Amino acid sequence: MNISLKDKKALVGGSSGGIGKAIATQLAESGASVTLMARNEAKMKAIIADLPCSEGQKHQYLKVDFSDYSNYKTIITTYFKEHTVDILVNNTQGPTAGGALEKNVQDYQNAFDLLFKSVVFTTQLALKHMQNNKWGRIINVASISVKEPLNYLALSNSIRAAVVTWGKSLSIDVAKDRITVNSVLTGYFDTDRIAQLNAKKAEKLGISIDEVRGTMENNVPAKRIGLPEEYGFLVAFLASDRAAYINGTNIPIDGGLLKSL
C-alpha cells in the first residue's frame, strides 16, 4: 500500500525529538511539507537538514514554548496569518510527573494550558483552511493513561482525557467537510520522556533504572518498548487518504499493554 502525502502541508508539535520527530520524519518521507514546532531551535534546524525533499517539499520550523500559553498564542496566531496546513499533529511535552495528592489546583491549571488550551486554539486556527478545502487531518497525541490511569501521572491522565473527549466531539462536527479527528493513545516508547520518568521512579523506589525499564518491558505483551518510527507509521497512515473513513477514534499503540477494550 502506497501512502502519498504529496502537496500536503503538516504542522507537528513537539517535534525536536522522540515521537514528534518520528512523526515529522515519516510525514516528510511520505511527501508532505512539514513545519516543526518545539523549543529547541538547534535540534529543529538539524532535523530539517535531514528531512527528504524529493517530492519538492519545503520544510520549516517554528520556535515555541507550549508551557507559556500567552506567548504561544501570539506566535501561532501570527503563523496562521501567513500559512495554512492540511495535517495538524497536536503534540506537546508532558506535564510534570506526580500523584494526585502531590498536585495543587495551579498545577492542574498549568497542565490545562499546556495540554488542552494550546491544542484547541491551534486546531481552531487550522480548521478554517481545512473546511474551505474540504479536506483535513487532525491527530492528537494522547496516552493509554486516559483508559487506565497511571497514578504517577495525575496531571497527564486528567487533561489528556479532556483532549480525547473533545476530539471525539469535534470529529462529529467536521466529518461533513471530509476532515477526520483521531487520537493516538501512546504506550511505552523509547524516548527521553520515558527515560526521565523511569529515572524518577527508580529514585522513588530505590532501585536501578535498568530494573524499572525491565519491569516496564515485561509488562508489555510484546516484551519490548516501542520504537518512535513505529508511531510515525501509524500517524502517516491516519494522515492519508487511505484512512478517510477512520474518524473519531482513540487508537492505542502500546504493544498490547492495555487490558481494557
* C-alpha cell, 127: 480548521
Give the CATH number for residue 30. Answer: 3.40.50.720
244 and 182: one domain?
yes
**Which one is predicted more confidently, 254 or 151?**
254
231 annotated active-site: no
| pLDDT band for position 261 (cuts 50, 70, 90) | confident
* C-alpha cell, 118: 494550546
108 and 211: one domain?
no
Phi, psi of 91 (to 5 degrees): -150, 130
158 in a domain, yes or no?
Answer: yes
Kindly report, residue by residue over 142-162, the tens digit of the pLDDT: 999 999 998 889 999 999 999
119 in a domain, yes or no?
Answer: yes
237 and 218: one domain?
no
Contacts of 14 (CB under 8 A, 6+ apart): 20, 37, 38, 66, 91, 92, 93, 141
146 and 61: one domain?
yes
> What contacts 24+ positions apart, CB below 8 Å, involve 41-49?
43/16, 43/17, 44/15, 44/16, 47/15, 47/16, 47/21
220 and 101: one domain?
no
115 and 183: one domain?
yes
Domain count, the chain: 2
Kindly report, residue by residue over 181-226, the tens digit of the pLDDT: 999 999 999 998 889 888 988 998 999 999 999 999 999 999 999 9
Catalytic residue, from 72, 79, 108, 152: name it: 152
* pTM of the model as a whole: 0.95
**Dihedral sign, Cα of residue 130, residue 131, residue 132, residue 133:** positive
Kindly report, residue by residue over 34-78, the tens digit of the pLDDT: 999 999 999 999 999 999 999 999 999 999 999 999 999 999 999
3 in a domain, yes or no?
Answer: no
Domain housing 208 = 191-225
Q: Nearest Cα to 225, choosing from 201, 256, 250?
A: 256
Cβ atoms of 123 and 170 within 8 Å: the answer is: yes
130 and 210: one domain?
no
| Whole-number Å distance between alpha carbons of 146 and 250 | 10
173 and 211: one domain?
no
Kindly report, residue by residue over 84-136, the tens digit of the pLDDT: 999 999 999 989 989 999 999 999 999 999 999 999 999 999 999 999 999 99
